[in-house]
Amino acid sequence: MSVSHSSRLNKLVREQYMRLPQGGLVQVTYVWIDGSGEGVRCKSRTLDKEPKSIEDVPEWNFDGSSTAQAEGSNSDMFLVPVCMFRDPFCLDPNKLVLCEVLKYNRKPAETNLRHTCKKVMDLVKDSHPWFGMEQEYTLLGVNGHPYGWPDNGFPGPQGPYYCGVGADKVYGRDIVESHYKACLYAGVKICGTNAEVMPSQVGARRSGPCWQGAEAGHYNCNEPAACPDMISIPSAALSTL
């Protein structure tokens, strides 16, 4: 299986620097959806103190022509922080911040579907609607081949893999468990995970921000030679109170 160059790096070197004190400063990573509607981008900045709420995180900007969200002649896009999480990769007091994207005229970008969704949810907030989102994903090698599958051929027939146990039935469990723990630490409302019917396929159920969980999954895969192909699948509303 092809491996990523990142997987060859000596992680002990990184850990040495990650333990250094920050002198009261805080690293905040802004995360947003790019022009594909599926890809996630991020950039980091330093704040003088730990933000206690999303209102303490300033807006920022980026070059939308480099993310398929604007033309080069007018490429400034705004990042509007909407939700803040503990950073499970750089650890406390650092933060991950989910952002909406606005165009130069302060109107929502075409891929900013959250903006309209929030308006609708605000209209019915007194009804307290609940939704369960199942994000199924398949672990792929960097060559696009399903993780753990034979290089030439297919794994055994479906049957033993769903909610399976054992290294010969569940591929990449270390990645899944690391992703799960990262979501819990960050405060992403993940309800659970299970191995799906196909080898290297995983289901993760969330009642919170799905994109932040997806970003955590991609980050977790920087070290192993695999990457998650995320597909978000809405399930039926669990209940309406």
Do 9 and 103 have their domain in common? yes
Do 102 and 139 have their domain in common? no
Do 96 and 11 have their domain in common? yes
pLDDT at residue 6, as a whole number: 76
pLDDT at residue 223, as a whole number: 52
pLDDT digits (tens, 9 = 90+) for 183-205: 999 998 888 999 999 999 998 87
Range of the domain at 81: 5-115
pLDDT at residue 215, as a whole number: 52
The answer to the question of residue 24 being in a domain is yes
Task: Provide the CATH number for the domain around residue 171.
Answer: 3.30.590.10
Do 147 and 54 have their domain in common? no
The answer to the question of residue 123 being in a domain is no
Helix segments in the chain, DSSP class H: 11-18, 113-123, 173-186, 210-220
Q: Which amino acid is at 53?
A: S
The answer to the question of residue 241 being in a domain is no
What gap in Å lies between CA 23 and CA 100, rounded to an integer?
Answer: 30
The answer to the question of residue 150 being in a domain is yes
Nearest residue to 70 via CA among 61, 80, 83: 61
Do 88 and 27 have their domain in common? yes
pLDDT digits (tens, 9 = 90+) for 61-115: 999 999 999 999 999 999 999 999 999 999 999 999 999 999 999 999 999 999 9
What gap in Å lies between CA 163 and CA 199, rounded to an integer?
Answer: 11
Task: Provide the CATH number for the domain around residue 21.
Answer: 3.10.20.70
- Give the C-alpha distances (Å, rounded to integers) separating 63 from 74, 75, 99, 104: 9, 5, 15, 11
Do 32 and 74 have their domain in common? yes
Higher pLDDT, 36 or 144: 36
Q: Say which range, 105-109, 177-181, 232-236, has the weakest mean pLDDT.
A: 232-236
pLDDT digits (tens, 9 = 90+) for 134-170: 888 899 888 888 999 998 889 999 999 999 999 899 9
Place of tokens 């992680």: 11
The answer to the question of residue 126 being in a domain is no
Do 145 and 197 have their domain in common? yes
Q: Which of 67, 88, 115 is the last residue of a domain?
A: 115
Residue 222: pLDDT band with limits 50, 70, 90:
low
The answer to the question of residue 178 being in a domain is yes
The residues, any chain, with a CB within 8 Å of residue 155's CB and separated by 6 or more, are 148, 149, 199
Do 103 and 14 have their domain in common? yes
Do 95 and 143 have their domain in common? no
Q: What is the domain count for the chain?
A: 2
Do 19 and 63 have their domain in common? yes
The answer to the question of residue 217 being in a domain is yes
Nearest residue to 210 via CA among 181, 178, 236, 234: 234
Do 13 and 111 have their domain in common? yes
The answer to the question of residue 20 being in a domain is yes
Do 87 and 151 have their domain in common? no
What gap in Å lies between CA 205 and CA 210, rounded to an integer?
Answer: 9
